[in-house]
Amino acid sequence: MSGSPFSKLKALAFSGFGIAFVAGIVFWGGFHTVLELTNTEAFCISCHEMEKNVYQEYRNTIHYSNRTGVRATCPDCHVPKEWGPKIVRKIQASNEVFHKVLGTIDTPEKFNAKRAALAQNEWNRMKKNDSQECRNCHHFDYMDYAEQGRRASSTHQRGWQEGKTCIDCHKGIAHNMPPVDQSIGVGKAGAAIDASAQPATPAQTAATVPDGRTGLDASSFGALKSASGK
């Protein structure tokens, strides 16, 4: 005895839903697997532009090798962990694929000619997102200032009070600095001006120190250090 048309339609609908559900899981699993493969150090340095240039610089830093063995790899610093920002970053990276095809920085000479612009783009991105990738590991709220050196403790607390973000002070910690004048210390002749560097005046700095003490911002400290020859 055959079922009613409604029963057949219902069975067909459930079958279609089941197939779509399984297909969705397979698609999502495949998409996520490929996405995560692009978030590995091996993938990042599979292009010789990265492997022969910035990767070699990074290997000489504490983020690559240290006493604890805890590393920050390429995606840890350059790809957000949160889903939304991660997808936005991947879309932006399509432009990098385009320039890979064009050979825009396929020699050390081309890369170094573009180094300042590439660095500035990344600094601007990190400034805009409040150094999101840095804060996945380092955060003002959880720093034990008593365990830091006097200079680091003072600077970090003042930076927190002034609303500064990691990249304001920590440029060039993983890769060689391009010839950019950050307005810290003695100016570099012929160097481009770092657009994200906005040093405070002594009056502004004093005003931001809540207990009334007169402090030095990063630029003033650098200038003082340079003048004293220390």
Interval 158-208: pLDDT, tens: 998 999 999 999 998 999 988 766 555 445 454 555 554 444 443 433 333
- Which residue, 116, 222, 119, 130, is CA-closest to 168? 130
CA distances (Å), origin 159, targets 57, 139, 145, 205: 27, 12, 13, 11
Mean pLDDT computed over every residue of the chain: 80
Q: How far apart are CA 159 and CA 169, in angstroms?
A: 9
Residue 68 pLDDT grade (very low, low, confident, very high; cuts 50, 70, 90):
very high
Q: Which residues pair with 180 in a beta bridge?
A: 192
With beta carbons less than 8 A apart as the criterion, state whether 194 and 120 touch: yes
State how far the Cα of 140 lies from the Cα of 190, in Å rounded to an integer. 35
pLDDT band at 2 (very low <50, low <70, confident <90, very high): low
Q: Please compute the mean of the pLDDT values over residues 63-85 and round it to a whole number.
A: 93
Share of the chain above pLDDT 70, in %: 77
Q: What is the pLDDT of residues 208-225, one digit of tens each?
A: 333 333 333 434 334 433
Structure tokens given for 97:
């694929």
Q: Please, how many CA atoms are within 13 Å of residue 204, restricted to the half-sphere of its CB?
A: 9
Mean pLDDT within 42-68? 92
Report the largest interatomic distance among the alpha carbons of the chain, rounded to a whole angstrom. Answer: 100
pLDDT, position 61: 94
pLDDT at residue 204 in the model: 39
Residue 124 pLDDT exceeds 90? yes
Residue whose pair of structure tokens reads 């250090």 in the numeric block: 225
Residue 21 has pLDDT above 50, yes or no: yes
- The answer to whether residue 77 scores a pLDDT higher than 80 is yes
Confidence tier at 11 by pLDDT (50, 70, 90): confident
